[in-house]
Chains A and B, each alone.
Chain A
């Protein structure tokens, strides 16, 4: 499905300094029973966010009104585990458009790019810097610029460039997805499939 175009995003950020955040934490399996894509944001990080009775856990960052924004700054190896795209739907639905980490799991990264959430991989040092800065100052903003492939900590101007392949870059900027592309070359695919 096409999604909102993404070129430059400036936003405050939410810090989540945990490593190996797996997709079972992002959206636990028991919330995967929907047959539609909407509404997953309510259960984003469900078991970290709410206790068994459904009361918000005070010490979890999404329950802390100090922090908000469209960017999630997370620890290393974000999105490991299950291939559930629901994890990205939950992040998107909650309002995140960008996740920053020093390392992403593979399938998760693909899923993000397919539905318009930008995964930005930065160096471990810059990741720490961003984490410290947004934790210390909730008003701190980060700018993610797709055309110039740059992520900047706005208060100090420190920045780093990030990788994204040209094809995905185009897609993100235009809000296109892979299916649009694949459908446009169905003749070629058909010819190829003929001898498979």
Chain B
């Protein structure tokens, strides 16, 4: 029998039809929608005079533009309010499940899907958001789509997609102290570049990946898109099953046993061929930070910003433009650079484990005076746990300001903006120009590094700030 990869198995099982010399008609099991990329899709359905084919396969939540204070009040910003209201209307009209602002399961779409157990191994999952790749951590094919495709899924439960090429990224060995899954993925992207996996779907493997918690795996898969990949996935295992067991939407009783039996078959065959493979050693990886304006521009926190040696043409121009935006010089050390804001949150690192790790490290410390520290839970559930576990108290004592769930300063569609020219060290996933507000300068790092920076007030190595 032909040896196939995990990606092949799931993909092939969802092809309704292959169009000759064209894409596949690809069936979607679960569709997440939010307020920003769905309204035009619904509008177009209306124009075509058609409805939603299978409302029970779509789940909605408003997350991108919502305020993170006073969520129980009317949204002040008119345009944001209209988008959220439109989402409510569309969901009500078409019978789509909505986890609305203020409800028990509200949150960032990529946080609540897994948290509720909606995300399951073997599924195909799409959302009008590129970080849909997060759900791949469960051994699902999950990727971001455009609004036209949102419309296709609503109308037909299918999209037209060509199958991506397959890449395997193995990380073996044991990472050192202070190295988190965020550092693993920032390291990989720095090695492969921000466009290095374009056209590929990535499977992450190796002992360092296997040993990660579900939360940490989600951080890795989340950032697959930051190296250009369509998505990333990790074969399900006991860690996955353990996480899903008992979750609201996970199968129960006999169905659970049947599901697990199927999920156990979801792995790449020994000897299956990938179009491209990379191997990394976890022992080489240290706490990372970005210094430029795409996620591929990352270095060790204790390292130096690369010089322009060997660069030429538009490559060099673009590089210098990026550094000029950041206010950095080629060749200088990043450690010791002053920082104004820290942001803990987003679908990359806004889960309970992230908040626990920040709280554990800042306990008994105070943030530096020059730092404004925001912590934004990825969901209501995370927020609730953070309160119950006493983490909020620890964080507030350290000078962190806790906000309500949403995408917040990850993309700054709401009021949570980093002012122009200011430096933010952020647990989110994008350091593009203006991503956290016009003129904002973003450096991406792990929650641990962010905690250390909050205390030190400057870029620093978490291993030096927290000695034990």
Q: Chain A residues in contact with chain B, CB under 8 A?
A: 1, 17-20, 22, 24-25, 28-30, 32-37, 47, 52, 75-77, 80-86, 88, 103-107, 110-111, 114-115, 128, 165-168, 177-179, 181-183, 185-186, 188-189, 192-193, 196
CA A29 to CA B438, docked complex, whole Å: 10
Known: A179-B151, A179-B152, A183-B155. A165 touches B162 (CB 8 A): yes
Contact B194 A77 (CB under 8 A): yes
Select one of B199, B318, B420, B433 contacting A52, CB under 8 A. Answer: B420
Name which residue of chain B comes closest to A191, CB basis. B16
Select one of B47, B54, B199 contacting A193, CB under 8 A. Answer: B54
Residues of A near B236 (CB, < 8 A) are none
Contact A33 B413 (CB under 8 A): yes
CA A181 to CA B156, docked complex, whole Å: 10
Name which residue of chain A comes closest to B13, CB basis. A196
Select one of B65, B130, B156 contacting A83, CB under 8 A. Answer: B130
Residues of B near A17 (CB, < 8 A) are 314, 317
Q: Which 4 pairs across A and B sit closest by C-beta, in order of nearness? A: A167-B22, A85-B146, A33-B79, A166-B21
CA A52 to CA B413, docked complex, whole Å: 16
Name which residue of chain A comes closest to B161, CB basis. A110
Contact B195 A105 (CB under 8 A): yes
B457 to chain A, nearest CB (A): 27
CA A35 to CA B35, docked complex, whole Å: 9
Contact B162 A188 (CB under 8 A): no
Contact B434 A47 (CB under 8 A): yes
Known: A25-B434, A179-B155. A76 touches B48 (CB 8 A): no
Contact B54 A107 (CB under 8 A): no
**Residue B117 CB within 8 A of the other chain:** no
> What are 5 pairs between A and B in contact, CB < 8 Å?
A32-B36, A32-B65, A76-B195, A111-B148, A188-B16
In chain B between 232 and 258, which residues have their CB closer than 8 angstroms to a CB of chain A?
Answer: none
Contact B146 A24 (CB under 8 A): no
A184 to chain B, nearest CB (A): 10
Known: A28-B438, A35-B39, A167-B22. A103 touches B195 (CB 8 A): yes
Select one of B20, B83, B420 contacting A33, CB under 8 A. Answer: B83
Select one of B22, B37, B199, B317 contacting A106, CB under 8 A. Answer: B199
Select one of A19, A107, A167, A186 contacting B315, CB under 8 A. Answer: A19
Contact A24 B434 (CB under 8 A): yes
Residues of B near A20 (CB, < 8 A) are 194-195, 293-294, 318
- Contacts A29-B411, A107-B225, A189-B157 given; 6 further ones with Cβ under 8 A? A32-B413, A33-B80, A36-B40, A47-B438, A81-B225, A185-B17
Residues of A near B129 (CB, < 8 A) are 82-83
Known: A36-B43, A107-B146. A181 touches B160 (CB 8 A): yes
**Residue B283 CB within 8 A of the other chain:** no
| B23-31, B259-267, B360-368 - the one binding chain A | B23-31
Contact B228 A25 (CB under 8 A): no
Contact A185 B25 (CB under 8 A): yes
Contact B20 A114 (CB under 8 A): no
CA A82 to CA B410, docked complex, whole Å: 12
Select one of B225, B314, B433 contacting A24, CB under 8 A. Answer: B433
Name which residue of chain B comes closest to A181, CB basis. B160
A20, A36, A105, A196, most chain B CB atoms within 10 A: A20
- B136-163: CB near A (< 8 Å → 1, else 0) gives 0000000111111101100111111110
Select one of B25, B83, B144 contacting A107, CB under 8 A. Answer: B144
Contact B433 A47 (CB under 8 A): yes
Contact B37 A84 (CB under 8 A): yes
In chain B between 29 and 74, which residues have their CB closer than 8 angstroms to a CB of chain A?
Answer: 29, 36-37, 39-40, 43-44, 47-48, 50, 53-54, 64-65
Name which residue of chain A comes closest to B313, CB basis. A128
Residues of B near A37 (CB, < 8 A) are 40, 43
B171 to chain A, nearest CB (A): 23
A27 to chain B, nearest CB (A): 11
CA A20 to CA B319, docked complex, whole Å: 10
CA A123 to CA B130, docked complex, whole Å: 27
Name which residue of chain A comes closest to B15, CB basis. A192
CA A32 to CA B413, docked complex, whole Å: 8
Contact A83 B434 (CB under 8 A): no
Contact A166 B20 (CB under 8 A): yes
CA A126 to CA B321, docked complex, whole Å: 24
Select one of A19, A34, A178 contacting B159, CB under 8 A. Answer: A178
**Residue B230 CB within 8 A of the other chain:** yes
Residues of A near B268 (CB, < 8 A) are none
Residues of A near B37 (CB, < 8 A) are 83-85
Contact A81 B430 (CB under 8 A): yes
Residues of B near A82 (CB, < 8 A) are 129-130, 411, 430
Residues of A near B148 (CB, < 8 A) are 1, 85, 111, 114-115, 177-179
CA A1 to CA B48, docked complex, whole Å: 9
Known: A165-B21, A166-B20, A178-B152. A24 touches B318 (CB 8 A): no
Select one of B44, B156, B195, B321 contacting A183, CB under 8 A. Answer: B156
B229 to chain A, nearest CB (A): 8
Residues of A near B321 (CB, < 8 A) are 18
Known: A29-B413, A47-B433, A83-B130. A182 touches B54 (CB 8 A): no
